[in-house]
């Protein structure tokens, strides 16, 4: 097994004690559990992580588990969301890492195969691909976490031979998806494009928690917001948020900025992309970087405008794509903004892994299960206590 595949190990030098101390300060909940879990004995525990390689995931929780003695292998679940400094720092800490920003699809698939070659007993997955890769392991892994709706859609197609704990459905994850993702997407958009939202027409495709948060925040920033969704209940919610419901075809023809937030592949296909208003800016905020049919787009004439912006000429129209279709708040080297907003998110992940390491209850059967509610509650109680005393 290759020791690591990252962009540049020397980038680890960019992480100093001051940065680590500040990271601990702005994420007090995760830091509390990191200090506690780093003192445990997790020698012999083998974890494979397939997720975003970002500083809020790596500088704290993965290092704490490593300090407790766990053997960890990390792979990037997205071709563009890796923070190469965080990846290098993890390698210096003795964690094997496979991922870098700007990977090819071939690199991505090779990295997944390398991570699968590690005989992990526990999985922490974002997108379901790691769990899917481990379906043939014998004996099966002891337990896994899944964090995304994309992953849940994928895993529901299989008869799982091991338990997978769904933390995408937690109320706390719902809060993160709605408020925190929405709050971090638009700073990334402005950083990349140099544009504000005032007076612009924005189409949000998908009005689940992520889409609602994006729509609400765009409206607060001065945009006229339109929402397309197949679920009539979600469309009613959008109306209550002050948005206008439209068919996807109408929204594509009218709006200057188009955001996908469904967690499902191929939501915008060739027939949709050819109808987009000329000059519209297109980006994704869902987990999958194939919500937009980028394979088709990249077969069309295109050119790089600047970092993370490409123009595509589609016969009589043209569109601009941001971050190659990867989720904008983590990709494109522009974020994440609001690292403190990931504090509950990383705490949920860390406690879920530690709970599995501490031996699962005997009555847990293979298949999808809810994430343990008592863990979410203790995190919320600590958060309330910290905020009330600050």
Same domain, 106 and 220: no
The CATH number that applies at residue 97 is 3.40.50.1480
pLDDT tens digits for range 271-299: 999 999 999 999 999 887 889 999 999 99
Instruction: Note the pLDDT of residue 336.
Output: 56
Same domain, 224 and 362: no
pLDDT tens digits for range 145-201: 999 988 999 999 999 999 999 999 888 888 777 877 888 899 999 999 999 999 999
Q: Kindly tell me if the per-residue pLDDT of 48 is higher than 90.
A: yes
Query: Which residues span the domain enclosing 363?
Result: 9-169+338-389
Span 323-343, average pLDDT: 76
Same domain, 181 and 219: yes
359: left (phi over 0), alpha (psi -120 to 50) or beta: left
Same domain, 184 and 219: yes
The CATH number that applies at residue 276 is 3.40.50.720
Bridge-based pairing of strands 317-322 and 309-314 is antiparallel
> Residue 167, Cα to own-chain centre: how many angstroms?
13
Is residue 74 one of the residues assigned to a domain?
yes
- Per the model's pLDDT, the better-predicted residue between 288 and 86 turns out to be 86
As a whole-number percent, the residues of the chain with pLDDT over 90 amount to 78
Instruction: Note the pLDDT of residue 200.
Output: 97
What is the model's pTM? Answer: 0.88
Half-sphere exposure of 224 (CA within 13 A, CB side): 9
> Residue 259, Cα to own-chain centre: how many angstroms?
16
Give the confidence band of 330 by pLDDT, cuts at 50, 70, 90.
confident
Give the confidence band of 337 by pLDDT, cuts at 50, 70, 90.
low
pLDDT, the chain, mean:
92
Same domain, 163 and 218: no
Last residue of a domain, one of 275, 301, 325: 325
Last residue of a domain, one of 303, 325, 347: 325
Instruction: Note the pLDDT of residue 287.
Output: 83
Burial code of 99-126, b = ≥16 C-beta within 10 A, e = fewer?
Answer: bbbebeeebbeebbebbbebebbbbbbb
SS3 199: coil
Q: What is the edge-to-edge ordering of all strands in the sheet holding 163-166?
A: 96-98, 71-76, 46-51, 122-125, 143-146, 163-166, 367-370
Instruction: Note the pLDDT of residue 1.
Output: 63
Same domain, 136 and 187: no
Give the confidence band of 335 by pLDDT, cuts at 50, 70, 90.
low
Is residue 214 one of the residues assigned to a domain?
yes
As a whole-number percent, the residues of the chain with pLDDT over 70 amount to 97
Domain count, the chain: 2
Q: Kindly tell me if the per-residue pLDDT of 333 is higher than 60.
A: no
Same domain, 18 and 134: yes
Instruction: Note the pLDDT of residue 345.
Output: 87
pLDDT tens digits for range 368-387: 999 999 999 999 999 999 88
Same domain, 19 and 161: yes
Same domain, 150 and 93: yes
Q: Residue 314 pairs with which residues in a beta bridge?
A: 317
Same domain, 49 and 124: yes
Is residue 3 one of the residues assigned to a domain?
no
Same domain, 130 and 252: no
Is residue 121 one of the residues assigned to a domain?
yes
Instruction: Note the pLDDT of residue 184.
Output: 86
- Per the model's pLDDT, the better-predicted residue between 344 and 50 turns out to be 50
Same domain, 47 and 119: yes
């Amino acid at each position: 097994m290759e020791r690591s595949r990252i962009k540049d190990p020397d980038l680890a030098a960019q992480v100093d004690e001051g940065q680590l101390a500040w990271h601990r300060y702005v994420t007090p909940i995760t830091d509390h559990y990191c200090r506690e879990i780093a003192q445990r004995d997790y020698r012999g525990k083998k974890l494979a992580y397939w997720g975003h390689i970002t500083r809020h995931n790596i500088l704290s929780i993965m290092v704490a588990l490593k300090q407790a003695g766990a053997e960890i292998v990390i792979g990037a679940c997205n071709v563009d969301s890796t923070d190469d400094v965080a990846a290098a720092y993890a390698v210096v800490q003795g964690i094997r890492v496979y991922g870098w920003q700007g990977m090819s699809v071939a690199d991505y698939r090779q990295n997944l195969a390398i991570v699968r070659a590690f005989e992990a007993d526990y999985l922490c997955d974002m997108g379901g691909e790691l769990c899917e890769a481990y379906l043939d392991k014998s004996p099966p892994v002891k337990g896994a976490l899944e964090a995304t709706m994309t992953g849940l859609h994928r895993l529901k197609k299989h008869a799982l031979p091991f338990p997978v704990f769904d933390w995408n459905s937690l109320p706390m994850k719902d809060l993160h998806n709605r408020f925190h993702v929405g709050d971090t997407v638009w700073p990334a958009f402005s950083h990349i494009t140099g544009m504000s939202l005032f007076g612009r027409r924005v189409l949000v495709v998908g009005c689940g928690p992520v889409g609602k948060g994006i729509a609400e925040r765009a409206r607060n920033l001065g945009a006229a917001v339109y929402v397309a969704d197949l679920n009539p209940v979600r469309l009613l919610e959008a109306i209550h948020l002050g948005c206008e419901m439209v068919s996807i075809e109408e929204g594509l023809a009218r709006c200057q900025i188009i955001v996908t937030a469904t967690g499902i592949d191929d939501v915008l296909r060739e027939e949709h992309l050819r109808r987009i208003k000329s000059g519209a800016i297109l980006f994704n905020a869902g987990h999958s970087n194939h919500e937009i049919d980028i394979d088709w787009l990249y077969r069309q004439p295109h050119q790089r405008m600047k970092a993370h912006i490409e123009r595509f000429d589609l016969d009589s129209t043209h569109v601009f794509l941001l971050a190659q279709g990867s989720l904008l708040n983590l990709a494109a080297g522009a974020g994440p903004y609001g690292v403190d907003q990931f504090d509950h998110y990383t705490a949920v992940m860390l406690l879920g892994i530690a709970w599995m390491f501490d031996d699962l209850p005997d009555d847990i059967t293979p298949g999808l299960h809810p994430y343990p509610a008592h863990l979410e509650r203790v995190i919320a109680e600590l958060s309330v206590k910290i905020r009330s005393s600050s």
